[in-house]
Amino acid sequence: MKKRSWAEPFKIKMVELLTMTTREERKRAIAEAGYNTFLLRSADVYIDLLTDSGTSAMSDYQWSGIMLGDEAYAGSKNFYHLEEAVQQYYGYRQLVPTHQGRGAEHILSQIMIKNGDYIPGNMYFTTTRYHQERAGGTFVDVIIDEAHESQSSHPFKGNIDLTKLRDLINRVGAEKIPYISVQVTVNMAGGQPVSLANLREVYALCSRHGIKVILDATRAIENAYFIQQREAGYSTKTIAAILREMCSYSDGATMSGKKDSLVNIGGWLALNDEDKASEARSLLVAFEGLQTYGGMAGRDMEAMARGIAESVQDDHIRARIGQVQYLGNLLLEAGIPVVTPIGGHGVFLDARVILPHLEQEQLPAQALASALYIESGVRGMERGTVSAGRDPAGNNRHPKLELVRLTIPRRVYTQAHMDVTAEGVSEVVQNADKIRGLKFIFEPEALRFFQARFAPITADQVYEVP
The residues binding ligand F0G (CB under 6 A) are: 51, 53, 100-102, 125, 127-128, 183, 187, 216, 218, 256, 258, 267
> Amino acid identity, residue 304?
M
- Tell me whether residue 131 or residue 436 sits nearer to ligand F0G (CB atom): 131
Contact 87, 320 (CB under 8 A): no
- Tell me whether residue 214 or residue 367 sits nearer to ligand F0G (CB atom): 214
Residue 259 bears catalytic tag: yes
**Measured from the CB of residue 101, what is the shortest distance to ligand F0G in angstroms?**
2
**Measured from the CB of residue 436, what is the shortest distance to ligand F0G in angstroms?**
26
**Measured from the CB of residue 382, what is the shortest distance to ligand F0G in angstroms?**
11
Sequence-ordered list of residues with C-beta below 8 angstroms from that of 120, at least 6 positions apart, any chain: 139, 140, 141, 142, 160, 164, 165, 168, 177, 180, 181
**Measured from the CB of residue 451, what is the shortest distance to ligand F0G in angstroms?**
14
Containing 221, the helix (H) or strand (E) segment is: helix 220-230
Residue 92 bears catalytic tag: no
**Measured from the CB of residue 69, what is the shortest distance to ligand F0G in angstroms?**
20
Alpha-carbon distance values, 316 to 7, 54, 239, 275, 303 (Å): 10, 17, 10, 36, 17
- Tell me whether residue 157 or residue 258 sits nearer to ligand F0G (CB atom): 258
**Measured from the CB of residue 371, what is the shortest distance to ligand F0G in angstroms?**
20
- Tell me whether residue 111 or residue 214 sits nearer to ligand F0G (CB atom): 214
Nearest CA to 407 out of 333, 451, 348, 466 is that of 348
Question: Which residues make beta-bridge pairs with 119?
Answer: 139
Residue 73 bears catalytic tag: yes
- Please give the DSSP secondary-structure letter assigned to residue 361: G
190: left (phi over 0), alpha (psi -120 to 50) or beta: left
Q: Which of 124, 125, 203, 234 is catalytic?
A: 125
Containing 374, the helix (H) or strand (E) segment is: helix 364-376
Instruction: Please identify the residue of the shown chain whose CB is closest to the bound ligand F0G.
Output: 101
**Measured from the CB of residue 127, what is the shortest distance to ligand F0G in angstroms?**
5
Question: What end-to-end distance do the CA atoms of the chain give, in Å?
Answer: 46
Sequence-ordered list of residues with C-beta below 8 angstroms from that of 234, at least 6 positions apart, any chain: 196, 227, 228, 242
Q: Which of 237, 383, 410, 411 is catalytic?
A: 383
- Tell me whether residue 269 or residue 355 sits nearer to ligand F0G (CB atom): 269
**Measured from the CB of residue 256, what is the shortest distance to ligand F0G in angstroms?**
3
Contact 36, 408 (CB under 8 A): no
Sequence-ordered list of residues with C-beta below 8 angstroms from that of 356, at least 6 positions apart, any chain: none
Residue 449 bears catalytic tag: yes
- Tell me whether residue 65 or residue 267 sits nearer to ligand F0G (CB atom): 267
Residue 126 bears catalytic tag: yes
**Measured from the CB of residue 183, what is the shortest distance to ligand F0G in angstroms?**
5
Containing 214, the helix (H) or strand (E) segment is: strand 212-216
d(CA 257, CA 255) in angstroms, rounded, equals 6
What backbone torsions phi and psi does residue 206 show, to the nearest 5 degrees? -65, -40
- Tell me whether residue 219 or residue 237 sits nearer to ligand F0G (CB atom): 219
Containing 98, the helix (H) or strand (E) segment is: strand 94-98
Q: Which of 161, 216, 300, 350 is catalytic?
A: 216
Using N-to-C axis directions, what is the helix angle for 298-311 and 77-89, rounded to 10°? 20
d(CA 44, CA 48) in angstroms, rounded, equals 10
Q: Which of 90, 156, 203, 449 is catalytic?
A: 449
Q: Which of 37, 55, 126, 185 is catalytic?
A: 126
- Tell me whether residue 284 or residue 358 sits nearer to ligand F0G (CB atom): 284
Nearest CA to 449 out of 395, 400, 389, 398 is that of 389
- Tell me whether residue 284 or residue 435 sits nearer to ligand F0G (CB atom): 284
d(CA 315, CA 65) in angstroms, rounded, equals 22
Sheet holding 346-350, edge to edge: 346-350, 403-407, 381-383
**Active site positions, annotated:** 73, 125-126, 216, 259, 383, 449
